[in-house]
Amino acid sequence: MSAIAPNFKLSEFIKSLLDNIFWIILIVVLIGLPAIMMILFVIEMPVIDGELLTPFLALTWLADPSRILPVVKAFMATDIFRVMAFPGFGFAALLAAGTIFVERKMMAKLQLRVGPFYCGKVEGILQLMGDGLKLISKEIIIPAKADKPIFWAAPVLFVATAAAFVAFIPVAPGWVVADVELGLLGVFAVIGFFPIITILSAWSANSKFPFIGGIRALFQMVSFEIPLILSLLGVVMLTGSLNLSEIAASQSSFPWIVFLPVGAIVFFITMLAELERIPFDLPEAESEIVAGWLTELSGMMYGLVQLGTYLKLYAFAGLFVVLFLGGWNGPMVVPPFPAELLEKGIEMGPITAGPFPGLPLFTQEMLNGALWFVLKTVTVIFFIILPRGVFPRIRVDMLLNLGWTKLIGLAFVNIFIALGLLYAGVLGPGGLQ
Amino acid sequence: MTNELPPGLALRKVDERIMTLNVGPQHPGSGHMRIIVQIDGDYIVACDPDPGYVHRGEEKMAEYRNYILNIPHLERPVIHDSCNVLYPYVLGVEELLGIEVPERAKYVRVIASELNRCIYIMYWLAIYGIFLGHSTMFMWPAGDRELLIDLMEKMTGARVTHAHFVPGGVRNDLPPNFEDVCLRHVNYFEKRIKEYAAVFYDNPILIARTRDTGVLSRQDAIRFGTTGSVLRASGVDYDLRKKEPYDVYDELDVHTNVMKEGDSYARSRIPWLDMLESCNIIRQALQKMPKSGSVRVKLKPNPKGKGFDTVYKRVESGRGSLGCYIVSDGKPEPYRVKLSVPSFRNLVALPNLLRGEKLGNMPSVYWSLNYWPVEADR
């Protein structure tokens, strides 16, 4: 990420900014103010706190932090915010978009290429947006013999399931969409849906290559779910809980990867297989079966599946962080919120802004936790992406052999290590923590 | 008159377990051809390669152009290996017309031919890499190829289709200071392709995937008439540069790479070893080449053969032995030009190799045969 796009000029950039500001002012004056006048003319306004609420008064309140901050804070406490924005879909989609960009640039550097470069002035940073627009504007072609309702539903279901998976991941203390007591079991239940959706999509396309790809995906996901679940049992035994928030909180002094490295390795490999990443991308092996179960998907249906795939990637990386790398725990690096801002406000010469009774929007622990969680997740995602540059694809029989013999055996080794630590009294209830 | 249909039209009994897949021509893993595979679960029970999608009638076109005008279009079957695909034609025409080639031109031809072999094999290797899902191995050879393409551009003026060999020598003399530049590029290229071993040829997953797949025994390799890297990977020490040296190959020390396994891995490793050997040959040729002298005999305009005459010449191309059979009837145009191409010979082995293999092995076995669809169709 060294070079700046060749036709980037600071003067032109400033000029474009000024242009935009000019148009905004023009539109506000010519359209916005007359619109407000018309509203005032037509609608009967309510009286709040003894004042007639005009649009101008509403705008004044919007600009007043002491009135708007409690509203924002109340909104952030709602479920809608949690599901749509912060620990849920929006946050995950943002990280997923970043992942796609970083993956493309990283692969390009590894393969002595440039990667996305022209779209968005600086290093092709808007390439993803361009690709998304392209996918949206493309025609959706449905095969004539496809089972249409299921074929239509499969990509949407895929994204929905991936988003449900995201909901289980605790990002910071108390910041999780679904804080269920049996969180880990819920995660397994959600993961169990992916092969069903895949085979439904593949079968309903009524085409040969998607069918083979779907069967391969089914083989792969089902046979790797067993080592996936077994490799996590060690953590569950030592923690004594299935709640993901509690598992993350239990690692305040050390992450479980220190004691259960075997489980972490098994989980990482099964994670690659569940995500269909190289070297386990057999369901999408393009030189054998075109694009596998994605072959007949076109336009935004394909885009939805890609979005779901990257949401799943984020969710798996987050799960790895929560279970083995200590979740949100980490040294406190975020500075505390300045207390005088709440009482006195900011004094700027003659003007005093505040005080702001609604602040802080986020607590210090939450910011610190989210920071560490994101850092660790990004690191794990980096290591998930890395094999793509180094390994070729493996074969179905090698994959099944790996899953059913080696990984299950190693997962049992991990369980025995956990049991040994538990009975020796080193860890667990009454142990170190 | 019987009711029996000819064998091609007879309906075959359909087994419900068997699924027929049309791999190609619109498939990322086929090239300009179609492989009809029948699979039972993950196993291939039958395979029927169907080439012919890019037939361009090169041989017929050659009958309407004179010996010199045939040069640019006869290299079209394999533009990445254009010097080598033209080599037997030029050798044959020289014998027909009785032309003696200057010593320096012979060395220039050897250098151009070996450089072109490397360029072709790099392209082949890039596609082999992506067929195995190794995207780095797609990008690296495709990029490093540029080094030699630049060198060929300096030498011949064209990047891909050089049309550099003419009856009586080569078209142009080398540019000034070419020897130093060539040596530097070739040394760097050799260093670079040695790095491929770490990321590709010694990769445990690659070895596990391609070892013992598509095994072609020594007897079968000879029986099917395969040539080049396929034959040498099956343990037959056969290289025309050594067995039937043409131009100055008898004065150079050519080492033939042979592997005994005959599997997909050996077939993919032999071209890589060939590239390293090509670098050695280029260095020797640069050393032994006369520093000055003519590179081209001046021909009469519109040369003719002497009455009815036939000639057959063959060279070792990037894919194997490539022959050219020319019949002359005393006119300025050849009566018949027949290209005997290695790609088609190697493809003959494909149905036998794929039977009983897993579907996942199909791309690696298919492309390890060093097959170039355009050349097979001519």
3-state SS string for chain B? CCCCCCCCCCCCCCCCCEEEEEECCCCCCCCCCEEEEEEECCEEEEEEEECCCCCCCHHHHHCCCCCCCHHHHHCHHHHHHHHHHHHHHHHHHHHHHCCCCCHHHHHHHHHHHHHHHHHHHHHHHHHHHHHCCCHHHHHHHHHHHHHHHHHHHHHHCCCCCCCCEECCEECCCCCCCHHHHHHHHHHHHHHHHHCHHHHHHCCHHHHHHHCCCCCCCHHHHHHCCCCHHHHHHCCCCCCHHHHCCCCCHHHCCCCCCCCCCCCHHHHHHHHHHHHHHHHHHHHHHHHHCCCCCCCECCCCCCCCCCCEEEEEEEEECCCCEEEEEEEEECCCCCCEEEEECHHHHHHCCHHHHHCCCEHHHHHHHHHHCCCCHHHHHC
* pLDDT at residue A4 in the model: 54
Indicate the range of A231-240, A359-368, B156-165 predicted with least confidence. Answer: A359-368
pLDDT averaged over every residue in chain A: 84
Is 90 exceeded by the pLDDT of residue A22? Answer: yes
Is 50 exceeded by the pLDDT of residue A129? Answer: yes
Report which of B31, B239, B218 is spatially closest to residue B117, judged by C-alpha positions: B239
Question: Percentage of residues in chain B with pLDDT exceeding 90?
Answer: 16
| Cis bond upstream, residue B25 (ω within 30) | yes
Exposed, middle or buried: residue A8 (CB in 10 Å: 0-12, 13-18, 19+)?
Answer: exposed
Asked whether residue A341 is assigned to any structural domain, the reply reads: yes
Nearest-by-Cβ selection for B209 from A107, A110, A395: A395
Mean pLDDT over residues A165-177, rounded? 87
Task: Give the integer Cα–Cα distance in Å for A431 and A422.
Answer: 8
Is 70 exceeded by the pLDDT of residue A427? Answer: no
The whole domain housing A347 covers 139-423
* Residues paired with residue B50 on neighbouring β-strands, in sequence order: B34
Contact B133 A287 (CB under 8 A): yes
Contact A394 B205 (CB under 8 A): yes
Decide: A303 and A136 in contact? Cβ < 8 Å.
Answer: yes
Place A355 in a pLDDT band, splitting at 50, 70 and 90: low
Residue of A nearest to B199 (CA): A390
Predicted ipTM of the assembly: 0.80
Contact A287 B363 (CB under 8 A): yes
CATH of segment(s) B58-302: 1.10.645.10
* B contacts of A290 (beta carbons < 8 Å): 27-28
Interface mutation vs chain A, best among B128, B147, B209, B210, most A CBs within 10 Å:
B209
* pLDDT at residue B75 in the model: 87
Higher pLDDT, B141 or A124: B141
* pLDDT at residue B188 in the model: 92
- Tell me how far CA of residue A31 lies from CA of A18, A24, A55, in angstroms: 20, 10, 14
Mean pLDDT over residues A98-117, rounded? 88
Query: Per-residue pLDDT tens for B242-266?
Result: 888 888 888 888 888 898 888 899 9
Nearest-by-Cβ selection for A395 from B143, B200, B358: B358
Contact B209 A394 (CB under 8 A): yes
Asked whether residue A113 is assigned to any structural domain, the reply reads: no
| pTM score | 0.82
Backbone angles phi, psi at B152, to 5 degrees: -65, -30
Is 50 exceeded by the pLDDT of residue A2? Answer: no
Task: Give the integer Cα–Cα distance in Å for A261 and A267.
Answer: 10
* Residues paired with residue B322 on neighbouring β-strands, in sequence order: B315
Mean pLDDT over residues A348-368, rounded? 74
Query: Per-residue pLDDT tens for A190-229?
Result: 988 888 898 888 888 888 888 888 888 888 888 888 888 8
Is 70 exceeded by the pLDDT of residue B8? Answer: no
Q: What is the DSSP string of A87-114?
A: SSHHHHHHHHHHHHHHHHHHHHHHTT--
Asked whether residue A157 is assigned to any structural domain, the reply reads: yes
Contact B139 A113 (CB under 8 A): yes
A-side interface with B, Cβ within 8 Å?
A: 107, 110-113, 208-209, 212, 278-279, 281-282, 285-290, 388-398
Place A393 in a pLDDT band, splitting at 50, 70 and 90: confident
Q: What is the DSSP string of A130-145?
A: HHHHHHHHSPP---TT
Place B121 in a pLDDT band, splitting at 50, 70 and 90: very high
Asked whether residue A240 is assigned to any structural domain, the reply reads: yes
Is 80 exceeded by the pLDDT of residue A360? Answer: no
- Cα diameter, chain B: 76
Domain count, chain A: 1
Mean pLDDT over residues B54-59, rounded? 88
Report which of A224, A198, A161 is spatially closest to residue A295, judged by C-alpha positions: A198
Contact A288 B359 (CB under 8 A): yes
Contact B358 A396 (CB under 8 A): yes
* pLDDT at residue B297 in the model: 85
B88 Cβ neighbours under 8 A, 6+ residues apart: B313, B314, B315, B322, B323, B324
Is 50 exceeded by the pLDDT of residue A1? Answer: no
* pLDDT at residue A317 in the model: 92
